[in-house]
Amino acid sequence: MRNDDTINLRSDSFTLPPPEMRRAMEQARLGDDVYGEDPTVNELEELAAGMLGKEAALFVPSGTMANLTALLAHCGRGAKYLVGDRTDLWMWEAGGASVLGGLVGHPIRTQSNGELALQDLAATFLDPEDPQVAVIGLIAIENTHAACGGRVLSFEYLAELREFTRQRGVSLHMDGSRIFNAAIAKGVPVSQIAGFADSVSFCLSKGLAAPVGSILTGSRAFVRTARRLRKMLGGGMRQAGVLAGAGIFALTHMVDRLQEDHANARRFASALATVRGVELESPTVETNIVYWRLADPERPIDAFLRNLAALGVQVLELEPGRIRTVTHFGITAEQIDAAVEAIGKALQSA
């Protein structure tokens, strides 16, 4: 249960595990995962790999570590990786690939739908025989794309990008933090989306409501390398089955219910569109993320957010003037209605 009655719409990382998930954690069989002997971790990794259609999977503490491990496993020191300038990996993961891995990040302009235009990617490929040029080893994408309103990358685009990487001999990593949201939105098995990339990471601790953990998937050889890197980065967690038990419950019980979050996001956007003084960034809501702003750019947003919090609703100003709302497990349709009502009241008093 939550500690208060606050309607927290800042992120789907604020989910709390349901009682059944907590019982699964309590009852999990344990061993030392650094030695590969935790049976619950092994079961989780096998389950995750099968669901995504990959040969192997690795349980890690966080999505940041999953992405960093993927980049280090794909690229040698001094290599360049291409990444969208609006992706979580580029903006919000503390520059770990450069600081810890010696990699060169090359940001590519992100299109409004989350895509990286192939012509922009192609323009970065210089003569690999020139010793002055950092060799490109990887392209990283995000699906769903959080900064673009939870957009789902189209299959047509993913197929074109997959062929692009094959022709140029570079790897493709998908930050699939919310890939299960993408699969639910498309009405397809998650493996159909994951199949476009060499490696895929996803979070158990967002909409799937596990308290801790992410998964990195790929080929057996890739995961073998990633496992060594996980240890190097401090991600060996010993009796991690207590957390993996939550992950197994998440993958077996919490995936289909993501459609409720999508419905609540659409409900929120539809109701918010009728509130005077608010502008939706886009009328189209594909998954569980809605961006909006105050219609009057001169209106002090800090005062509005304080008033809204005082009314029991928390949202996030992710960038100046740009407000993010994320629906998730634990948020009901009734709370969505209450949040919209509170926004109207906060606007009147701000």
Q: What is the reported pLDDT for 103?
A: 97
Over the stretch 219-260, which tens digit does the pLDDT of each residue have?
A: 999 999 999 999 999 999 999 999 999 999 999 999 999 999
Task: Enter the pTM of the model.
Answer: 0.95
Q: Which residues contact 331 (CB under 8 A, 6 or more apart)?
A: 7, 8, 9, 261, 264
Sign of CA dihedral 35, 40, 41, 44: positive
How many Cβ atoms from other residues are within 10 Å of residue 299's Cβ? Answer: 14
Nearest Cα to Cα of residue 325 among 150, 185, 181: 150
Q: What is the reported pLDDT for 302?
A: 93
Which residues lie across from 171 on neighbouring strands? 138
Buried b (16+ CB within 10 A) or exposed e, 24-36: bbeebebbebbee
Q: How many residues does the chain have?
A: 350
What pairing do the DSSP bridges indicate for beta strands 316-319 and 322-326?
A: antiparallel
- Do the beta carbons of residue 327 and residue 288 sit within 8 Å? yes
Over the stretch 82-138, which tens digit does the pLDDT of each residue have?
A: 999 999 999 999 999 999 999 999 999 999 999 999 999 999 999 888 999 999 999
CA separation for the pair 36, 62 (Å, rounded): 19
For residue 266, is pLDDT > 50? Answer: yes
For residue 4, is pLDDT > 90? Answer: no
For residue 290, is pLDDT > 70? Answer: yes
Q: In what order do the strands lie in the sheet with 104-108?
A: 56-60, 214-218, 199-203, 171-175, 136-142, 80-84, 104-108
DSSP annotation of 346 reads H
Q: What is the reported pLDDT for 283?
A: 87
Lowest mean pLDDT among 1-10, 112-121, 129-138, 311-320: 1-10
As a whole number, mean pLDDT of residues 260-282 equals 97
Peptide bond between residue 144 and the one before it cis (omega within 30 degrees of 0): yes
CA separation for the pair 245, 28 (Å, rounded): 6
Question: What is the residue whose two structure tokens read 């609540």?
Answer: 264
And the tokens for 125? 């490929």
Over the stretch 153-211, which tens digit does the pLDDT of each residue have?
A: 999 999 999 999 999 999 999 999 999 999 999 999 999 999 999 999 999 999 999 99
CA separation for the pair 260, 287 (Å, rounded): 10
Q: Which phi and psi (to 5°) does residue 195 adopt?
A: -65, -15
Nearest Cα to Cα of residue 324 among 295, 301, 283, 290: 290
For residue 344, is pLDDT > 60? Answer: yes
Sign of CA dihedral 227, 229, 232, 237: negative
Q: What is the reported pLDDT for 1?
A: 40
Q: What is the reported pLDDT for 278?
A: 96
Percentage of the chain modeled with pLDDT above 90: 95
- Domains delineated in the chain: 18-253 (3.40.640.10), 257-349 (3.90.1150.10)
Q: What is the reported pLDDT for 273?
A: 96
